[in-house]
Structure 1
Amino acid sequence: MQMLNVSYLEQIDKFRNLQLTLGERWKTVEMFDNSDADILIIPSLSIDQRELRKIEGCDHYEERLLFSLIRLQNPRNRLIYVTSLPLHPSVIDYYLQLLPGIPFSHARNRLLLLSTYDASLKPLTQKILERPRLMERIRQALRLDKSFMVCYNATELEAELSLKLEVPLYAAAPDLQIWGTKSGSRQIFAQTGVPHPDGSERVWNELDLAEAAADLWERQPSLKRMVVKLNEGISGEGNALLDLRPISSLAPPDGSRSERVAAMKERFVTMRFQAKEENWENFSGRITELGAIVEAFVEGEIKRSPSVQGRITPSGDVEILSTHDQILGGPDGQIYLGCRFPADEAYRLQLQQLGLKIGRNLAQKGALERYGVDFIAVDQGDGQWDLQAIEINLRKGGTTHPLMTLKLMTNGRYGLSTGLFYSQQGRPKYYIATDNLQKERYQGLLPNDLMDIIAHHRLHFDTGTETGTVFHLMGCLSQFGKLGLTSIGDSPQQAEEIYNKVVKVLDDETPTKNNNFASLSEYALPITWDGCSC
């Protein structure tokens, strides 16, 4: 990284010193959440762009941080939101009109929307850095002594922008992002004593991967399947499933190690890849660039994929924010589609305990802001579940915006003793959320068309009952027929009923075509396999 023409170590020191001002300004959680601040939102998905392109409609995922408009509830806060392309005005109006107790015009006057007008395949942060005049406009709009920057994930690009703007970044520093990779996550699990599947360290080529797989098979001769994961794959798109059963005759238990390694290399080409149109030739090339791990597949007749989310504050405190049961799909149930809140009561408190251990370890390493941990839960009978940690996400994830939507709409609180979220009236609230309600028949619907449908069928969130649906990713709708939503109810059943009503109305309002997805009932728990939140 070359920033300000100084050495890398000096750059890191300057970046960390700038981050330290967060803790100096806001010494407690209450001060930070209720402060008078200028908040710069950079929703750049600064990850490997070839892996990102595996997600349909990813160009519009910059919209997922629009939940940050919740901070305009504080009448003293101001917010700058930068995107690659301008956001549709009706999308912004939709979010601002959801703010309870704040006049629309007052909130709108404290929101500055900026765009690079650049649709190229580059991270948004890079586009901003390439536009000095845009950076200067951002800088002039901020009260630097009261500003901080929020992003989807933190890389050297975000660190460079933070330094050039002189605005501290509220996120884990780039040199800490290793702890959010597949291999780094495994190291944290080992350090904290959190149960996780047997597996390997990161490898960089086909031969080392075959040797790591052979070693794993030798340690666990009864293993039926393994998972090969790109070290920085997202949403399960970088995963591949290796079935060992067809090759057991090629490498019998009493066979040599070289036989096992050869058998592994031979079968890599036949792995089931989770990303569409993926193949071994391309996948193996990504290994040399990103690295990969191999991990034991967690077997079980009844399995789920729960997760826990937390936050590390500028003062170093760790708080648990939520637990979820993830909704997975794809060829082998490895692709993240959505989530249910909260996670099953049989293991949600255990998830919180494990999440706290991991969060405290990350805090000691200097991490900040959101983190999430994905698990596999296997039913052991008699109400007992075995939890195995799979991955840490040091960034915003697929469960971040639904939870913030719930907080936005109810102004409620999370109860650590129960793992439930309560409205101001003390009612437990539940939701189902997805980024992936996608059907061919929805293609061609404009954001304004969606607003008409919402109004006509009264699909909007009802502030009186605090139930209903909040929509997001509306920019994906016209081209990809893809939409995100969070359906909130007073029970899990009501949340699902609200969700399914939305699907039925959209189906009825659109011409019949070949559907890609149907109602969420297709993804009903128990959920199999593991995935990671994007």
Structure 2
Amino acid sequence: MDTDAAYDQVQSELPTAWRPEGSASPEPRVVIVMPSFSMGPALLSHYAHRIPALEQRDLYGVLLLSNPSCRVVYLSVQRIPDYLVEYVVSLVPSLDLADVRRRLALITVGDASPRSLAAKLVDRPDLLARVHDFVGSDPAMIEPWNVTAAERDVAVALGIPLHGSHPRLLALGSKSGSRRVFARAGVPHPAGVEEVASRRDIVRALTTLRRTKPEMSAVVIKLDNSAAGDGNAVVDLTGLPASGTWAESAALESRLVTLPDWYVPAVEAEGAIVEELIQGEAYRSPSVQLTATPQGEVVVLSTHDQILGGQSRQVYEGCRFPAHEGYAGQIADDGLRIGQQLAAEGVVGRFGVDFATVLDGSGWQSYALEINLRKGGTTHPFGTAQQLMHGVYDARAGTYRDDRGLARFYVSTDNLLDPRWMSMDPQEVIRRVDRAGLAWDPSRRTGVVLHMLGCLAIDGRFGLTAFGASRDEAEEFYAAVRATVG
């Protein structure tokens, strides 16, 4: 049996192990958390030093153990320190640490090479045997970050299904693939050109876009398989010779000089798109997080307003939840149409859709930008919220209420950064936040939950999610953390 056929056979067991969001089913099962960042070479090299810390974002998965019938395997490149497990468990007072340790298996690869966690696991049959022995005969599924051939091979080796799609569907989540899905779903998206693979292709795409839309003032080039905006480059189109004139091509070529040295080789290696940079009054960058169940149902889980940074404001730095009520319902509807198109093409599991939204004379207008056929920067804060508050997001109203019916909001980031913090003990950060009265309060359902503390020693960075009973309270908690840490 070839690998793809074996994978299809393994995936047929997914409905047995899968549970709906927030399920308290008494049936035993095992969830294998595998934060394997299988990315293109350019992106992997950019994030390689931070990957062990990025893996820690998924530690909210330990809180699945609030269900006594559940067990969890947590796979990682580097060992997860005991204090981090203790911190996560402390967020839920009903959890007993000794019981958690009995039902939690932390399995570490201990390999610092610049490859994904899944690729390393494929080479470690001893570790896969430990996973298999822990799971035993209980239904089990793997929660991956994304699904490539490496994750597929882990699933086949274990005989345990992935909560995700077949790797052959990866192209649907590329930038070129996203634009084609938007067109099939009938969702508005920017003017653009797909399948760009060289400097000459970029110039041709710019020429085409200027001819079809002469008023276009800027475009963004996006590497086909980039993430978090790190493969995006903005090109200014103002002050150029008129479209179609003899001087146009040379002038466009000169604009590409501003691209980083590595960028055009990355375009040649990975492919790209060129599309209009959406601009306008009150520009926002919201996203929709969805899931496609093994039965083919598509559910809108959340909407967020993304916080963008970087020189051209294309890099994801954090998010606010829920998205602004003026357009949350609009992007949820468009996201659902896109999700239903993806499900019809075989997609299973979590994914997200990013939008650009601007205010004009007729109201908020949204344009679909890209599909993230994987987990993303909004997955772990929302996952944390669900494990702590077991709430429901109303996609049409754009509101979230916990299991007591109380509205809740949050602000989250992976990028609270100060190089002076590189020498700080992560446990001291926990203590300072606690002493300042900012820590998560399970009775009030407000306060700060920390994550990615392992990144402090790497570059002085850590993450947090600040929960509030109002947007303003969430912002106040969020703003207070930097001053508190010092």
| TM bucket, shorter chain | over 0.9
Residue identity opposite 2:46 in structure 1 = K
Q: Deviations over 1:284-317 (max 9, x none)?
A: 1111211011001112132000111111111111
Deviation at 1:144, TM superposition (A): 4.7
**Alpha-carbon distance, 1:100 to partner:** 4.6
SS of equivalent residue, structure 1 residue 356: helix
Matches of residues 178-327 of structure 1 in structure 2 within 5 Å?
A: 178-246=171-239, 248-249=240-241, 252-256=242-246, 259-271=247-259, 279=260, 281-327=261-307
Say if 1:429 and 1:490, in contact at 8 Å, map to a contact too. yes
The 1:390/1:417 distance shift into structure 2, 3 A limit, reads: closer
Q: Does 1:175 align with 2:155?
A: no
Asked if the contact 1:324–1:343 (Cα under 8 Å) also holds between the matched residues in 2, the reply is yes
Report how many aligned residue pairs link the two structures: 485
- State whether structure 2 residue 52 is matched by structure 1 residue 59: yes
Q: 2:427 aligns with which of 448, 463, 474?
A: 448
- Contact 1:26/1:32, CA 8 A, preserved across alignment: no
Aligned equivalents of 1:267, 1:35: Cα separation in 2: 60
Quick one: which of 26, 48, 52 aligns to 2:40? 48
Amino acid at match of 2:252: M
Deviation, structure 1 residue 226: 0.9
Once the two structures are aligned, what percentage of the paired residues are identical? 35
* 2:144 aligned with 1:162: no
1:106-125, aligned counterparts within 5 Å?
A: 106-125=99-118
Shift of 1:42: 1.1
Distance 2:245 2:46 in 1: 39
**Distance between the aligned counterparts of 2:377 and 2:270, measured in 1?**
22
1:351-380 CA deviation, whole Å, 9 max, x = no partner? 111111111111111111111110001011
With over 3 angstroms needed to count, the CA separation of the structure-2 counterparts of 1:59 and 1:264, relative to structure 1, is farther
Task: Give distance in 2, aligned partners of 1:154 and 1:232.
Answer: 13
Q: Alpha-carbon deviation of 1:35?
A: 4.3
Q: Unpaired segments of 5 or more residues in structure 2?
A: none
Aligned match for 1:354, one of 324, 334, 358: 334
Instruction: Report the Cα distance in structure 2 between the residues aligned to 1:289 and 1:33, rounded to whole angstroms.
Output: 46
Residue ranges of structure 1 left out of the alignment (5+ in a row): 1-5, 272-278, 508-534
2:133 matches 1:140: yes
TM-score (normalizing by structure 1): 0.87
Amino acid at match of 2:344: Q
Work out which of the residue numbers 5, 8, 12 in structure 2 matches 1:16: 8
- The aligned residue for residue 91 of structure 1 is 84
1:430 aligned to which of 409, 414, 422: 409
Q: Which residue of 2 aligns with 1:512?
A: none
Query: Structure 1 residue 479: deviation in Å?
Result: 2.7
> 1:218 Cα shift?
1.0
Change (3 A) 1:35 1:214: farther
Deviation at 1:113, TM superposition (A): 0.3
The offset of 1:47, in angstroms, is 0.7
The CA RMSD over aligned residues, in Å, is 1.8
Of residues 453-462 and 362-371 in structure 1, the stretch that sits farther from structure 2 once superposed is: 453-462
**Equivalent position of 2:353 in the other structure:** 373
> How far apart are 1:31 and its partner, in Å?
6.7
* Native 8 Å contact 1:410 1:424 kept in 2: yes
Q: CA separation in 2, counterparts of 1:58 and 1:198?
A: 34
Tell me which moved more, 439-448 or 30-39: 30-39
Aligned residue in 1 for 2:475? 496
Equivalent position amino acid for 1:255 in 2: T
2:201 counterpart SS class: helix
Query: Do the aligned partners of 1:402 and 1:433 also contact (CA within 8 Å) in 2?
Result: yes
Query: How do residues 509-524 of structure 1 correspond to structure 2 at under 5 angstroms?
Result: none
State the 1:104 CA deviation.
Answer: 2.2
Tell me the alpha carbon deviations over residues 392-442 of structure 1, each in whole angstroms, 9 at most, x when there is no partner: 111111001111111122222222342211122211000000000101222
